[in-house]
Structure 1
Amino acid sequence: MSIVVLVPLLPLIGALIVVAGGSDSLHKRAKLAVYFLGAAFIGSALTLWHVATEGPITIRFYDPESLASLVFPMGFYIDRLSAVMMTLISCVGMIVYTYSVGNMFQDYNARRYLSLMAFTVFVLLCMVSSANIMMLFIFWQLLSYLLYILAHNHSHGPTLAGAFRTYTLLRVGDVAFLTGIVLAYQLYGTLEFGTLFERAAETSVLLAPLPGIEISGATAVTLFLLIGGLCKSANFPFHIWLPSSLFAPTPMHALLHAGIINAGGFLINRLAPLFGMSPTVLHLAFAIGLITVIVGGLMMLRQNDIKRKLGYSTIGQMGYMIMECGLGAFALAVFHLIAHGFFKGSVFLYCGNVIHDARKHPGMPHVGHSDKPREFSFLTWFTGLFTTLLIPLVILLAIHDVLDMPLLESQGLMIFLFFIWITSTQAILSLTRIQGVASWKVSASMISVWFFIIFIYLFLAETFTAFLYPDPAEVEFYLQAAALPDWLFSTIVVAVSLVIITTWSYMYISAKGGSIRVPGWIKSFKVRLYTLSMNRFYIEKMYEGLGRVFSRVLNRIVGHDKGWSK
C-alpha cells in the first residue's frame, strides 16, 4: 500500500501545474489542477476503506532509532484518525479550489493564490499523516507561513496588519509546540508516536519548575502542546488572529475554517494517550474551551459584518471542540470538527456569493421588507420548553444522581447526554423564529430535530467512537482522566437550566406584551456586558498595551547595551 504516498503529492502536482506556464493558459491549468485534487479525494477515500478493513499503514524513509542520520525525518503513519482527516481535507479542498478557480480568475495574482491553495491542501494532508511528531510540527508551522501569504492583498493596510497579527500569534503557538517536542524528547528519548506513548506510560518523571511545585513530565509536555493547539484553533486568549485575518479572500477562509483551524483538535486526538496521562491539562482544556464558547458567542452576537459574524461563530465552535477534548470525548471532538468543517466551508462559499451579489446590486438586501410577527402559540412554546428543559433535565438527574451505573457508561453517557441537551436546545430555539407556518408544524419540527440529534449522538457514542478508538479500555482511560467532580457537573447543569428557563420565560412574557422587572444591578451588568462584547472584551487593546510595554523594555535593553559597548 505504498502507493498511498501519492495521495498527499497529488495536490502538490496540481500546484506545480498552476505555477508552470504563462498567464494566457492559467485558467486551463487551474481547471486541470482540480482533477488532481479530485484524485486526492478518491485516494483518501480508498485509503480510509483500506485502513478500516486492513489496519494502519506505516511508511518510513528513515530509521526510527537513528533520527540523527536524517535532518527531515519523513514518513507516513495513517490510522483511522489520519484517514478520516485526509478524506475531510481532500474533499473540502477540492470543493473550495473548484470554487476559487471561478472566483479568482480575474485577480492579478490569481496564479500565486491558486497554487498556494493547492499547496496548502498538500501541507494539511502531510500533517495529518505524519509518522512522528517532528514531521507533524514542520508541516504545522508551514501553515503559519501560508496563512500570512494567503492574506493575498498585502498592499491593503488592514490586510497586511491582520496578516502580521495572524503570523505573530501563530508563531507563539509554534514556539510552545516546539518546546513541548524538545521536552518530550529530553524526557522520553523518542519522537515516534507509539514509542513515545509507551515510554511516557512506563516512565514517571517529576519536574520542579518553581520551588515547592512539582508536576509530572506528561503534564509539562502536554501543557506546551495544548498551547500550540489553542493558538492554531483560535481559542481564548489566542483567538484575536482569526477576526484579523478576515480581509483575505472568502475561498481562503472556507478552507481555513473547514480545515486549518481544526488542527488543534486533531493534535490532541493524535496525542490522546499522552493527554490522557494528565488530568490537569484535560481540565484546563475544558475550562478554556468553555470560556471560548461563551466569549466567542457573545462577540458573534454583536457583529454586523457577515464574515466577522461567521469568524466569531467559528471561535465558539472551536471552543466546543476543545471542551469535548477536555472531557475525554475525543471521538466526539473529531465528529464535531468534521461536521463544522463541511458546514462552515459551505457557508463561507455561499457568503462569497452574497458579497459578490451585494457588490453587483447595491440595493441588496432589500430594505423595508419584514414578515409580520406570528401570533403567540402556546403549543410551540410548551413543546420547546418540554424538549429543551423538562425531558433532558429529568434524564440527566436520574442518571447522575439516582441510577447506579459503572464509571465508563456513566461518565461517557453523561458527556454525550449533555451535548445532546446543548445542541438540541440551540436548534429548537432557532426554530421558534420560523414565521408564517402553522404552530403544529413548528412543534413537529422541534420534536423531529430532537430525535434526530439524539440519534446522531447515540451513533457517536457507539459506532464512531468504536471506529476511531476500538479498544474500550482506552476510551475508559480517557473518560476517567477527564472526569469532572460531581459538584462541578451539578453546577453546570443548574447554570444551563437557569439560562433555558430565563429564555423561555422571557419569550412567553414578551409575546404576552408584559415586561420583566429586574434589579438595577442586573441592568447595569447587562449594559456592561453589552459594552464589553461590543469592544471584544478589550482583549485586543490589552495585547496592544503589552506589545508597547515589551517594545519599551526591549528598547531600553538595546540602548543599555549600546551605552555599555561605548
Structure 2
Amino acid sequence: MTVSASQLLPWIAFLPLIGAFLNGLFGRRFSRRVVFTIGVGTVAIAFLLSLRAFFALQAVAIEQPLDPALRYTAWTWVASGLFQFDVAFFLDPLSGLMLLIVTGVGLLIHIYSTGYMGDDASVHRYFAYLNLFMFSMLILILGKNLFMLFVGWEGVGVCSYLLIGFWFTDDQKAQAGQKAFVVNRIGDFGFIIGVALLLYHARGSTDYDVLKWLFGDGAYGPFYDPWTLGACCLLMFVGAAGKSAQLPLYVWLPDAMAGPTPVSALIHAATMVTAGVYMMCRLSFMYTLSPVVMGVIASVGAATALAAALMALTQRDIKKVLAYSTVSQLGFMVLAVGVGAFTAAVFHLMTHAFFKALLFLGSGSVIYAMHHEQDIFKMGGLKKKLPITRATFLIGTLAIAGVPFLSGFYSKDEILWGVHSNQQLIAVPERATAAWGDDQRVYIGGRNGIVLKREGDQWEEERVPLTQTNIRGVSQAVLPDIRALAGDGQGTWWAAGSFGSIYRSGGRGWTLAHSLDGDPTHFNAAAAAGPNAAWFVGDRGVVVHYDGTEFKKVDVGSRVSLTAVAARSETEVYVGGASGTLLKYDGKAWGKVPGVGSAAVTGFAKLGNDLYGVSEDGGLLKLGAAGFEKVAFTAPGVAKGLQLRGITANADGKLVLVGRAVLQGKEGENAVYIEGLPSTGFGVLAGPTSGLFRAVAHGLGTTYATGDDKAMYAPAAAESGVVLERVASVPTKPWFHHILWVVATFSALLTAFYMFRLYFLTFEGQTRATPEAYDHCHETPSHMWGPLVILAILSIGGGWFGHSLYQWLSPVFATANTRLLLDDHHTLMAYVPTLFGAFGIAIAAVWYGLNSPVPRQLAERFPTVYRVLYNKFYVDELYHLAIVKPFRATARVVHEIIDRIFVDGALVHGAASIWSVLGRALRPLQNGNVQNYAVGIAVGLAIIIWLVGMKPTLW
C-alpha cells in the first residue's frame, strides 16, 4: 500500500510520542543502550519522514504555487453546532521549514544527550520527557487549526516544566520549574481568552484556511469588527510574550537554565521559545489588520532586545549569559513581526536555532569538562583543553555577533533593514465615497467605518464605532460605510453613512452622535451650518438637522434620494437629489428651487460668494437670483458621456469637478479630474480606466479625488506635465521606525560585546580554574562534539539561503501594511549594524582578551549601575515583593481561615462531631429492654391516631 506524503504527517508527530510511552513506562527495565535507541531512533525516523514530506511539499509548490500545502484530517474530535475541532495536519512552506528545524536540531540534541546525560540514574525519564516535548512541538507546528496549536502549546509548557525541574530533589531547580510553569500560565490565560474571542468572532472556526478566507482577503462585510479582531490579536500576543519570553513575562527563561543543558539548547533556545513567534507569523493575515497591535508588538520586541542585552553584560554564569542572549534575540524576532517583516523573523528564527543550539551545547561541553562549573570567572585558557568545542563555540559567537558571511549576519541584517525600511502604511479605504478638507486636516471615508485622516504631514487611520440597525427584523451591530464628511472649520467634524449613523469628532476619534433608531436608511451627504450645527441628507428624502443641542428629523416634502447638501448659513440651506430635485431652506420653511434638467444633483461647493453644483449628466450649476442655472463649459479631451459626482474649490480659486467620461482616442470610460473656471476654461486629467471618482476634497494644499479602486489621486508634476498620482497607501509615524532601528542596532552592538566577553573569559587568556579542575579538563567524546560540528556548519552557511526564503514563504504571509523604502541610504543601513558589531567585538577583545583593568575600574566608579545590571534591574525582586509575597500571604490567610477553620473545622470535623453527639444522645433508647420498646411503640401509635383524627383544616 502506498502512503501519501500527507499521511506521513501524523506519523511524524506521533513517533516521538511512542518513544516517550516506551521509555516512560518501561524505561526503568531497559538498559541505557535500549533507552538511547528508542529516544534517538524515534526522532531520527521522524526527521527522515520530515525530509520526505518536505520534498513532496516542494513538488506541490511547483504544481500549486498559490496554495502549496499538504493536508490530512485524521478524525473529528469535537463537533457541536457551529463548533468543530478536527485532529488535522497541515504542511505548508512555513510549517515545513519549522518541521526541519525542530526534527533536525532536535535529533542532534538527542544524540548529544546520550553523552551528557549518559551517567544520570533517571536517563529513561529524561528521554521520555524529551520525546514528549518533540511530540508536543510537532503537534504545535503541524496542526491545521488553533485547537491543535493550543494542544501543542500547552504540551510544550508541561514538558518545559518537567525538564527544568528534572533534578527535582534540588529545591532551587524545582522552584525554577514552578516559576516557568506559573509565568507561562499567565501568558496562556491571555492566549486562551484571545482564542475563545476569536472562536466567537470567526463564527465557530479555528481552521487556518477558514480564518485566512475570513480575514486574509478582507471577505468580511460590514459585520467585521476591527476592535474585536485587535483584541484577539493582542490577547494572543500576551500568550506569545509568555512562551517567547518577552517583557514583562521573560523572567522564567533565565531560571530555566536549572535544567540539563541539552534541554536549554532544544527547548529554551531552538524550538519552544520560538512558538510565540511562529504563532504570530502563522496568523500574519490577522495581525496585519491590526496596525495598533503591530506597533505594540514592535515596541515590546525592541524593549526586550535592549533590556535583555543590558542584563547579559555583567552575568557570570555561562548559561545565564546565553539565556539573556536568547531573550534578546527573541526580541529581535518579535520586533520583525511587529514591523511586518515576517520572513525576516522566520529567517532569524532558523539561524538562531543553529547558532544558539551550538552555543548551548558548547557551554554544556565546557560544563561537562569542568565538572559542572558554570562561573566564567573560574574558567579561562580552555582553548588548549577543548580545541573542538572552542572552535565551534567561536563560530557560534561570530554568528550571533553578526559577523559578515555567517548566518546571523544575514538574518539580523534583514531584521534591522526591515525595521528601518518598512514604514507602517495605512491603506486607502475601499470604495472611498466621502472626502472633506480644510486648512486643518483632510478626511477620506470608505467602507467598514474606516476614516483616513491627514493632519500636517501625518496620516492616521480612524474607525467609527458600531451602530445598531434592523436587518430583516433583527437588531444587529454593524460597521457602516462612511458616505459623507463635513467640518465647521472650528474643530468639529461630522461623518455619516449607511444604516442611519451620524458620528462626531473633536479631532481625536469618533463617537456615535445619532442614529435613526434601527432605520436602515443611508445618509449620502452632510454639511456644517456653523459651530456645532449640521445637516445630513439621505435616501427616501430623509433630512436630519442638528441645531447644537439635539438632532431632529425634518420633513422637506420629498421622498426621492437626496445626494447633496450645502449650508451657506444656518438660515440658507440647499439640498439636491435624484430627478433634478433642488430644495431650499430659508430659516422658516422648505421650498423648491428652480433647476435645470432631470439628472441627479450630486454635489455642491462654495467658491467665494458663489455656490456651484454638479449633476450626474455632466452639468455645472450656479446659484443665481432665480435659482440654479446651468453654466456652459468645455472639458478638453472629453468625447462623451461625462458624469459628475463631486465638486470642490481649491486654493487657487478654481473649481475641481470629478466623475467619469469617455476620453478622445480611448475606448471605454475613464475617471476624470477637471480643474478650472467657466470664465478661463478647464483642463482634464485622466484617472484610472474603467474607474469612477465619487468624491473630491481640498485641504492642506492638496486636492484629493477618491473612488472605487482603493486609492486616492492627487495632481503631481511630471516630465510630461501635470498628471494624477495614484496613492494606495500612506506612511504613518516614520519616526517610530527610526527609534526602533536605533534601539535594535544598539542591542546588536551589545550582543557582539557580551558574547565575545563570554568567549574570551571562557577560552582565552590564562586559566582562572582550580589546578585540579583544569588538569582534569578534556575534550568531550565524539557523540557530543559531532553535533557541535554539524551545527557549526549550519551556523556558517545557514544564512546563505535567506533570499530563497522570501520566495518560499511568500504564499504564506499576508502583505503587511508596510512599504519597503529603497532610498539612497539603504546600502549604508546595511553597513552600520556591521560596524557597530565590530566595535562591540573590539571593545570586548581589548577589555577581556587583553585582561584590561577597565571593566573593574568602571564597576568601581559606577557601582550603582553595575549592581542594577548585575541584579537584572531588580525585576525578580520587584515581582517577588509585589506579586509573590502578597499572593503567598493571601494563600496563608485563606489556608488558616477558610481551609483549616471553615472547611476542615466546620464542614469536615464539625459534621462528624454533630453526628457523633447525636449518636451518643440516642444511644440510651437502644438499651435492649423490651418494655421500653413497647412504650415507645404505644406512644408513637397514639401520636399517629391523634394526627389522623385532626380536622383537615389543621393539616
TM-score normalized by structure 2?
0.46
Q: Check whether the contact 2:750–2:840 (CA below 8 A) recurs between aligned residues.
A: no
1:301 counterpart = 2:319: no
- Give the Cα separation in 1 of the matches to 2:842 and 2:56: 53
Correspondent of 1:468 among 809, 821, 828: 809
Correspondent of 2:178 among 156, 164, 182: 164
Q: Write out per-residue CA displacement over residues 175-205 of structure 1, whole angstroms, 9 at most, x where no aligned residue.
A: 1111111100111221111212333444466
- Give the Cα separation in 1 of the matches to 2:31 and 2:111: 17
1:28 counterpart = 2:365: no
Within-5 A mapping of 1:261-340: 261-340=273-352
1:477 counterpart = 2:490: no
- Give the Cα separation in 2 of the matches to 1:236 and 1:17: 39
1:76 counterpart = 2:412: no
Alignment partner, residue 549 of structure 1 = 886
Report SS of the residue matched to 1:216: helix
Alignment partner, residue 89 of structure 1 = 102
- Give the Cα separation in 2 of the matches to 1:501 and 1:355: 28
- Give the Cα separation in 1 of the matches to 2:36 and 2:184: 30
Alignment partner, residue 439 of structure 1 = none
1:101 counterpart = 2:106: no
Q: Write out per-residue CA displacement over residues 7-47 of structure 1, whole angstroms, 9 at most, x where no aligned residue.
A: 11222223334343544523234224423211211211221
Q: Check whether the contact 2:306–2:328 (CA below 8 A) recurs between aligned residues.
A: yes
- Give the Cα separation in 2 of the matches to 1:527 and 1:476: 48
- Give the Cα separation in 1 of the matches to 2:382 and 2:371: 20
Quickly say closer, same or farther: Cα 1:27–1:407, change in 2 above 3 A.
farther
Report SS of the residue matched to 1:73: strand
- Give the Cα separation in 2 of the matches to 1:541 and 1:525: 25
Q: Check whether the contact 2:246–2:301 (CA below 8 A) recurs between aligned residues.
A: yes
Quickly say closer, same or farther: Cα 1:71–1:319, change in 2 above 3 A.
same
1:230 counterpart = 2:571: no
Alignment partner, residue 255 of structure 1 = 266
Q: Check whether the contact 1:101–1:114 (CA below 8 A) recurs between aligned residues.
A: no
Alignment partner, residue 37 of structure 1 = 43
- Give the Cα separation in 1 of the matches to 2:422 and 2:212: 33
Quickly say closer, same or farther: Cα 1:499–1:65, change in 2 above 3 A.
same
Quickly say closer, same or farther: Cα 1:475–1:96, change in 2 above 3 A.
same
Q: Write out per-residue CA displacement over residues 402-452 of structure 1, whole angstroms, 9 at most, x where no aligned residue.
A: xx99999x999x99999997799679878999999xxxxxxxxxxxxxxxx
Correspondent of 1:537 among 848, 873, 877: 873
Question: Counterpart amino acid of 2:51?
Answer: A
Cα offset, 1:368, TM superposition: 12
Quickly say closer, same or farther: Cα 1:14–1:406, change in 2 above 3 A.
farther
Quickly say closer, same or farther: Cα 1:457–1:426, change in 2 above 3 A.
farther
Q: Write out per-residue CA displacement over residues 468-490 of structure 1, whole angstroms, 9 at most, x where no aligned residue.
A: 1238xx6543435xx99x9xx9x
- Give the Cα separation in 2 of the matches to 1:399 and 1:276: 17
Cα offset, 1:66, TM superposition: 3.8
Alignment partner, residue 180 of structure 1 = 194
Q: Check whether the contact 2:298–2:336 (CA below 8 A) recurs between aligned residues.
A: yes
Report SS of the residue matched to 1:61: strand
Q: Write out per-residue CA displacement over residues 309-358 of structure 1, whole angstroms, 9 at most, x where no aligned residue.
A: 11111011011010011110111111111111111112111211111111
Q: Check whether the contact 1:99–1:251 (CA below 8 A) recurs between aligned residues.
A: yes
- Give the Cα separation in 1 of the matches to 2:202 and 2:373: 62
Question: Counterpart amino acid of 2:8?
Answer: I
Range moving further from structure 2, 31-40 or 340-349: 31-40
Q: Check whether the contact 2:240–2:279 (CA below 8 A) recurs between aligned residues.
A: yes
TM-score normalized by structure 1?
0.74
Question: Counterpart amino acid of 1:158?
Answer: Q
Report SS of the residue matched to 2:245: coil
Quickly say closer, same or farther: Cα 1:426–1:407, change in 2 above 3 A.
farther
Alignment partner, residue 243 of structure 1 = 254
Range moving further from structure 2, 348-357 or 307-316: 348-357
Report SS of the residue matched to 2:371: helix
Q: How many residues are matched? A: 496
Cα offset, 1:296, TM superposition: 0.6
Q: Check whether the contact 1:41–1:90 (CA below 8 A) recurs between aligned residues.
A: yes
Quickly say closer, same or farther: Cα 1:368–1:244, change in 2 above 3 A.
closer
Alignment partner, residue 5 of structure 1 = 10
Quickly say closer, same or farther: Cα 1:107–1:478, change in 2 above 3 A.
farther
Within-5 A mapping of 1:296-445: 296-359=308-371, 365=379
Report SS of the residue matched to 1:304: coil
Cα offset, 1:497, TM superposition: 12
Identify the structure with the greater helix proportion.
Answer: 1
- Give the Cα separation in 1 of the matches to 2:116 and 2:168: 19
Q: Check whether the contact 1:57–1:78 (CA below 8 A) recurs between aligned residues.
A: yes
- Give the Cα separation in 1 of the matches to 2:726 and 2:840: 33
Question: Counterpart amino acid of 1:6?
Answer: W
- Give the Cα separation in 1 of the matches to 2:78 and 2:20: 34
Q: Write out per-residue CA displacement over residues 117-141 of structure 1, whole angstroms, 9 at most, x where no aligned residue.
A: 1121111111100011011111101
Report SS of the residue matched to 1:298: helix
- Give the Cα separation in 2 of the matches to 1:476 and 1:525: 50
Overall identity of the aligned pairs, in %: 23
Correspondent of 2:209 among 194, 199, 203: 194
Q: Check whether the contact 1:18–1:30 (CA below 8 A) recurs between aligned residues.
A: no
Cα offset, 1:523, TM superposition: 11
Cα offset, 1:221, TM superposition: 0.1
Report SS of the residue matched to 1:74: strand
Cα offset, 1:504, TM superposition: 11
Q: Write out per-residue CA displacement over residues 38-60 of structure 1, whole angstroms, 9 at most, x where no aligned residue.
A: 12112112212222220201111
Q: Write out per-residue CA displacement over residues 272-312 of structure 1, whole angstroms, 9 at most, x where no aligned residue.
A: 11111111111111111111111110111110110111111
Q: Check whether the contact 2:285–2:814 (CA below 8 A) recurs between aligned residues.
A: no
Question: Counterpart amino acid of 2:115?
Answer: G
- Give the Cα separation in 1 of the matches to 2:148 and 2:277: 18
CA RMSD of aligned residues (A): 4.9
Q: Write out per-residue CA displacement over residues 191-230 of structure 1, whole angstroms, 9 at most, x where no aligned residue.
A: 11121233344446688xxxxxxx7111100001101011
Gaps of 5+ in 2: 61-67, 385-401, 403-408, 424-724, 765-794, 848-857, 907-955
Alignment partner, residue 697 of structure 2 = none
- Give the Cα separation in 2 of the matches to 1:501 and 1:140: 38
Q: Check whether the contact 1:17–1:33 (CA below 8 A) recurs between aligned residues.
A: no
Q: Write out per-residue CA displacement over residues 244-293 of structure 1, whole angstroms, 9 at most, x where no aligned residue.
A: 11111111111111111111110111111111111111111111111111
Range moving further from structure 2, 1-10 or 289-298: 1-10
Alignment partner, residue 376 of structure 1 = none
Quickly say closer, same or farther: Cα 1:21–1:71, change in 2 above 3 A.
farther
- Give the Cα separation in 2 of the matches to 1:365 and 1:67: 61
